[in-house]
Structure 1
Amino acid sequence: MIMSESIFFNQGDAIASDYDHAAARRSAQIFKLNHETKGGLVVAKNADGKFAIFYEQDGALNANSDAAKKDKYTVLERL
């Protein structure tokens, strides 16, 4: 059974975004090769169907966790 995980991210914090999953994933892999990351990256999708790449630690389980506007994303995979 696959369970979806919803996390809130600030859309402005996205490393990359695209309406094509493969393109977003490719951007994440290139970013990870060229930048040292403290934590993992996640490929996530919002309600509009846009895929985005975020640092995993930037996500919040609660939309009210800080003052910044956060949008709900479903995590598709961790890189």
Structure 2
Amino acid sequence: MNNENVFFNPGDAIASSHDFKEARRSAQIIKADKPTAGQIVIAQNAKSGKYAIYFADKARDDKHGEPYKITEKL
């Protein structure tokens, strides 16, 4: 597990879930459907605890996003 902190705009999420296993399944499906789309990350919102799936290149700075903790990179 990665402890890297990163900021994302919640509106940029590809998908989200309260369950990590469900989020991981969704991320694997997305990656399989678009293998050349870039790196996908599963991140947990530091405030709500909800998991979200993002393209890694959608990361923001701390003034334009909410804090997330990266839990997995695909």
Answer yes or no: same fold by TM over 0.5. Answer: yes
**Could you tell me which amino acid in structure 1 is paired with residue 52 of structure 2?**
A
Residues 70 and 77 of structure 1: CA distance in aligned 2, closer, same or farther (over 3 Å): same
Q: What is residue 8 of structure 1 aligned with on the other side?
A: 7
| Higher Rg of the two aligned structures | 1
Q: What is residue 75 of structure 1 aligned with on the other side?
A: 70
Question: After superposition, what is the alpha-carbon deviation per residue over 1:49-70, rounded to whole angstroms, capped at 9, x for unaligned?
Answer: 100000011113x312xxxx41
Identical-residue share of aligned pairs (%): 44
Return 5+ residue gaps in structure 1 as ranges: none
**Could you tell me which amino acid in structure 1 is paired with residue 55 of structure 2?**
Y
Q: What is residue 55 of structure 1 aligned with on the other side?
A: 55
Query: What is the aligned-residue RMSD (CA, Å)?
Result: 1.6
Q: What is residue 16 of structure 2 aligned with on the other side?
A: 17
CA distance in 1, matches of 2:26, 2:37: 18
Return 5+ residue gaps in structure 2 as ranges: none
CA distance in 2, matches of 1:4, 1:72: 12
Residues 26 and 3 of structure 1: CA distance in aligned 2, closer, same or farther (over 3 Å): closer
TM-score by length of 2: 0.87
TM-score by length of 1: 0.82
CA distance in 1, matches of 2:10, 2:39: 17
